Amino acid sequence: MYAGFRIIIALVLFILGFVPFPFPYISFFLFLVSYLIFGTEVVWKALKNIFKGDFLDENFLMTLATIGACLLKLYPEAVAVMLFYQIGEFFQDYAIAKSKKSIASLMDLRPDVAYVVEGKKTVKTKPEDVKVGDIILVKVGEKVPLDGVITEGESFLDTSSLTGESIYKRVTLNDSILSGSINKEAPLKIKVTKKYSESTVQKILDLVENATNRKTKSENFVSSFAHIYTPIVVIASLLLATLPPLILKESIDPWIYRALSFLVVSCPCALVLSIPLSFFSGIGACSKMGILVKGSNYLERLEKMKMLAFDKTGTLTKGVFAVQEIKSKNYSQEELLRYASYAENYSLHPIALSLKNDFQEDIDESKISNVKEIAGEGVEATVFGKKVLVGSRVFLERHDITCPKQKEAGTLLYVAIANEFAGTILLADQVKEDTSNLITSLKHEGIEKTILLTGDQKNIANDVQKRLGIDEVHASLLPQDKVECLKKLMSEKDKDTFLGYVGDGINDAPVLASADIGIAMGGLGSDAAIEASDIVLLIDEPMKLISAIRIAKKTMKIVRENITFALLVKFVILTLSAFGITNLWVSIFGDVGVTVLAVFNSLRILNVHKN
């Protein structure tokens, strides 16, 4: 607001300077005041940088050009250099502020206070002072200050700032809850499980705040280019101002004017400002969609990614087993499922829990007795007065029950009732709903090869490959085998392309860290995901990958546009200035115009749509 007001005041004075006053010194005074309003900050920065020994920047170029214009008594031109430079700076600040809004919602995650429950009262305190194990109260409309588990109450949470999704999440007793969510319906009491410095919200904030520290090749090129380019331009301007009049024996004034025009248009603002802004906008666009990118260099890598490897369980599949098929002998399918579910009632194995979930009936535990569970093999129990065995084929055969061999893509439970084989129940991990078009979409985005790395058996992995259209499968891998397999794949690829790995961020941390680009799927609340990966998809949706790739491509396309456009326009105007075809005004508009256009072109990255 202050910058805009200052520009308006100085602009009015600048325009008044062109009024033909009866006393010329009035116009000079108006131009001087206008110059001081616009240029004091620039001149001061240039002087400070001179004393620091690192002065070859846009402030030095602007100061040098305007002092030269004043010496030639070109006061309107001198003021105009500073005027349009400051207008350009104003638009740049506006663009940066707009870009930051995409990340601002993440910064709003930071909680202000926490209410610790002490007996029958609550004590207001800083989240940093809350200890693990404390019970905190989160009222309606408040942010959850720390990670924890609900001990009392149920409510809906707004997790949009964390995930980019506007759908509220239902939570109840014993549910884990993440800091940064907003309580929307009823008060909740939460037992704190992580101190503030280790909470989800703090890790995300640290990640976002440090995202711009990792520079891309393009940004490093611009920085190096500016340091080499600026002194060359200054030397060229001095030579342009002095050599031609000496050689041609002409007046020095026109050549100084050309040199000043040369200096003004040579300012590398368009590159120095728009390129980092492009990457910042790309990171902001990703954040808006619940995709955290740890650095602008990973956007550059994502655009060049041609190979993508996946973990299976929890990444492409839900990690939740469900009954796919029941084959029964002498019993109906419903009866077979009932006997098996009763027998597995006391087991905490994921397969047993999935079986009971599919049964969906209340179990009368009085009908169950003599339960024996053998880890890794199966369960023996008396159900409705009959001996029931549920487990692997080997487990039943050890009890002298002959079972037919079956080869299915999934986990096959063999069931025996009253010492006779009764049938099989096939359970399989379910493919996530939005993965059906994932591989096809990845191919459209330039991913040439997709690979599945899994610890599951070959037949299960092949079934997932067939359903999703994955190119290559490596099955029965231990965590260390996955790392070795990934390293082998990386050694076989072209050095100019990148290999990404997508995992759930918990048991895949070594592989995520080994890949060119580690992408954690559904990494919200997972320390391993945030630490080991380069990109974190905060919600468990594989199609977010497509959004990330598209944003990365759009970012790099705009970066190349800005570099090409800025260099081309500046080269043309520099050439015309050297030959005296253009004047200082054209140079001013050329420099500021290119910068403003490049900056607003960078902001196009923010116009993204959710898949």
Q: How large is the angle between the packed helices 200-209 and 75-107, nearest 10 degrees? A: 160
The verdict on 328 and 393 lying in the same domain is yes
Is 579 domain-assigned? yes
Beta-sheet strands, E only, within 378-497: 378-383, 386-391, 411-417, 420-431, 449-453, 472-474
Residue 311 bears catalytic tag: yes
pLDDT at residue 498 in the model: 92
- Residue ending a domain, among 431, 449, 470, is 431
Q: Are residues 341 and 301 both part of a single domain?
A: no
Residues in the chain: 611
- Tokens 């949009």 sit on residue: 160
268 in the same domain as 369: no
Tell whether 178 and 266 lie within a shared domain: no
In a domain, 575, yes or no: yes
- Which of 411, 431, 451 is the endpoint of a domain? 431
- 484 lies in the same domain as 354: no
The residue ranges of the chain whose pLDDT is under 70 are: 1-4, 54-57, 92, 95-110, 160-167, 204-227, 376, 409-410, 505-507, 523-530, 608-611
Same domain, 388 and 482: no
- pLDDT, position 388: 94
Closest by alpha carbon to 187, among 152, 163, 214?
Answer: 152
- Residue 138 sits in the same domain as residue 35: no
Sign (positive or negative) of CA dihedral 584, 586, 589, 593: negative
- Domain of 528 in residue numbering reads as 296-316+432-533
Q: Is residue 547 part of a domain?
A: no
Residue 13 lies in a domain: yes
pTM > 0.85: yes or no: no
Say whether both 249 and 387 belong to one domain. Answer: no
On whether residue 305 sits in a domain, the answer given is yes
Active-site choice (57, 147, 158, 311): 311
Which pLDDT tens digit goes with each residue over 69-121? 888 788 888 888 788 777 777 776 776 666 555 555 555 566 778 999 988 88
Using CA of residue 250, residue 254, residue 257, residue 261, what is the dihedral sign? negative
How many other C-beta atoms lie within 10 A of the C-beta of residue 56? 19
Residue 252 identity (one-letter amino acid): I
Ramachandran angles phi, psi of 478, nearest 5°: -80, 165
pLDDT value, residue 167: 63
Give me the pLDDT at residue 240, please: 87
447 and 413 share a domain?
Answer: no
Q: How many domains does the chain have?
A: 4
338: domain CATH number is 3.40.1110.10
Q: Residues 437, 515: one domain?
A: yes
Locate 16 and state its tokens.
């008044």
The predicted structure's pLDDT at residue 3: 62
- Please tell me whether residues 369 and 492 are part of one structural domain: no
- Roughly how many angstroms between the first and final C-alpha of the chain, as a whole number? 36
362 & 222 share domain: no
- For the stretch 495-554, pLDDT in tens is 778 999 998 766 677 888 889 999 988 766 566 666 778 898 877 788 889 999 999 999
